[in-house]
Amino acid sequence: MEKKSNNVLVGMSVFGAIFFIFGFATTFIIQLSAPVMAVFNLTEFQAQLLTSSFFIAYPIMSIPTGMLINRIGYKWTVSMGLILMAIGSLVFIPAAKIPSYPLFLMATFILATGVVFLQVSANPYVTAIGPESGASSRLNLTQALNSIATMVAPWLIAVVIFRGLELPALPTEAEELVYGLEVATRIPFPFIVMALIVAFVAVVLFMIKLPVIAVDKKDTAPASVYRYPHVLMGAFGIFCYVGAEVGNAGLMVNYLRGGTLGLSAEMASTYAAIYWGGAMVGRFFGSIMFSDIAAKSKKYMLAVLVLILALVSGAFVTDWNWQIGGIFTGVALVNFIIMQFGCGKPARTLAIFALMAGILGLVTTFTTGHVALWTVVSIGLFNSIMFPNIFSLAVKDLKGGELGSASGIINALIIGGAIIPPLMGSIADNYGYTYAYIVPALCYLYIFFFAVKGSKIRPASMS
């Protein structure tokens, strides 16, 4: 029993680091659309193609990756993913130096292919490494680690790329050119650091022994999972969730810059960091509430620690503005209170959070100023438990090879991040940013349906 617990601890530690890495890479690319828009003087639709080139890798590579896992195992698949991430990160250096937008798109796709390898491996591994009853708790914990990285990424963009740069409200063509070139010179550094880190993790991975998740060879055919309606409806839930989350974030910086508040690019990026920080805080809450901890007093004590984390992190990314940190903490407290209505049940909590996120999206559409700012930022808190809960509900009752194949199908539908942001960008270009937020509100409506009804539909043999 002790050896088994140690194996779980080793596996969770390694994959916690993996979640952090691909969380940082994913969010950095999403938030990079604003700097790239400045470098190449793009429309919002064109800038969101950078996000599309990242998420298009999921439908192309996810199912083959699921098959690859069944052939070579989790460890080698993860190692290959890390190597691809390092290569993609290095391609960004010449892309920014030239600068070349097509090369940016190519570098993004290579990086994304590595992330797909990691993500398709990581989610089923964390689900299967321990008891099924704790799957949602483990996924929420690793997603929380992922979200620490997602909060760091936009903050890093604000500090490394936008700090000290100001563009006049009505810039001349020459001013826009100088601004764009300066932004381009600041882009390579984060990618150099990323390449070094993932290369280091790949070396460490080769040196350790991971717990092995058994695969039943007779169940490895991808077609075997298509008979499960909850898998397919869960996959579309992931399409909607990723598209909504990425679309909200991808447009946020330019939305806050051009709105009634007229924030600087640096300040708008810090609010994007708070948006992603909300996902981090909410996932820590989720990990606590979906855990096997029996004593409510212990859960509430841990929740207080998370609220302190919200206060400090919200203040940190805004140059120690404790007022903003306090507002963020207050919103986080409301999120935790609402989570109690879920009673620790993944489907029920998912339904409540999807409904709240949809309402916040609609309020963002029909309001302005500080109200719209905090409603769009607060969506991050309600996004928090969606991916792990949708995923765990979608793969419930699956075993062995079915689990890897289902993960491939579900992760293929992360293509929502390639389709919904450009759609929102096109609406923003033609009708204004506020109306673009109707799209994610509709996505959350489907997730509500999946939580209430779709996740419960099973073939007759499983009911």
Per-residue confidence (pLDDT) for residue 104, from 0 to 100: 92
Least confident of 125-139, 277-291, 427-441: 125-139
pLDDT tens readout for residues 296-310: 888 899 999 999 999
Say whether pLDDT at 324 is over 60.
yes
Say whether pLDDT at 191 is over 50.
yes
> Is 215 a member of any domain?
no
- Whether the CB-CB separation of 123 and 135 falls below 8 Å is answered with no
Biggest distance spanned by C-alpha atoms of the chain: 69
Buried b vs exposed e over 201-217: b needs ≥16 C-beta within 10 Å? Answer: bbeebeeeebbebebee
Give the residue, 140 or 79, on which the prediction is more confident.
Answer: 79
> Is 462 a member of any domain?
no
Per-residue confidence (pLDDT) for residue 215, from 0 to 100: 55
Say whether pLDDT at 413 is over 80.
yes
Q: Which residue has the tokens 């020459």?
A: 174
Buried b vs exposed e over 74-90: b needs ≥16 C-beta within 10 Å? Answer: bbbbbbbbbebbbbbbb
Q: Region 318-322: what's the mean pLDDT? A: 91
Per-residue confidence (pLDDT) for residue 101, from 0 to 100: 92
> Is 461 a member of any domain?
no
Per-residue confidence (pLDDT) for residue 137, from 0 to 100: 64
pLDDT tens readout for residues 205-263: 777 776 666 555 554 445 577 788 889 999 999 999 999 999 999 899 888 887 777 78
Per-residue confidence (pLDDT) for residue 262, from 0 to 100: 79
pLDDT tens readout for residues 336-369: 999 999 887 889 999 999 999 999 999 998 888 8
pLDDT tens readout for residues 253-299: 888 887 777 788 888 889 998 998 898 898 888 878 877 777 788 88
Packing angle, helices 57-97 and 173-186, rounded to 10: 110
> Is 192 a member of any domain?
yes
pLDDT band at 92 (very low <50, low <70, confident <90, very high): very high
Q: How many domains does the chain have?
A: 1
- Residue 115: domain span: 2-209+220-456
Give the residue, 193 or 205, on which the prediction is more confident.
Answer: 193
Say whether pLDDT at 173 is over 60.
yes
Percentage of the chain beyond pLDDT 70 is 87
In the predicted model, what is the mean pLDDT of the chain? 84
Say whether pLDDT at 5 is over 60.
no
Give the residue, 450 or 223, on which the prediction is more confident.
Answer: 450
> Is 9 a member of any domain?
yes
Exposed, middle or buried by CB within 10 Å (0-12, 13-18, 19+), for 152? Answer: buried
- The single-letter code of the amino acid at 443 is C
pLDDT band at 434 (very low <50, low <70, confident <90, very high): confident
> Is 344 a member of any domain?
yes
Least confident of 53-62, 90-99, 118-127, 427-436: 118-127
> Is 80 a member of any domain?
yes
- Whether the CB-CB separation of 189 and 160 falls below 8 Å is answered with yes
pLDDT band at 331 (very low <50, low <70, confident <90, very high): very high
pLDDT band at 430 (very low <50, low <70, confident <90, very high): very high
CATH number for the domain including 16?
A: 1.20.1250.20
Per-residue confidence (pLDDT) for residue 107, from 0 to 100: 94
Least confident of 72-81, 83-92, 219-228, 271-280: 219-228
Say whether pLDDT at 377 is over 90.
yes
Rounded-to-integer distance, Cα 301 and Cα 281, Å: 15
Give the residue, 77 or 461, on which the prediction is more confident.
Answer: 77
pLDDT band at 1 (very low <50, low <70, confident <90, very high): very low
Nearest in space to 299 (alpha carbons), one of 311, 308, 291, 307: 291
> Is 390 a member of any domain?
yes
Per-residue confidence (pLDDT) for residue 105, from 0 to 100: 94
Per-residue confidence (pLDDT) for residue 150, from 0 to 100: 78
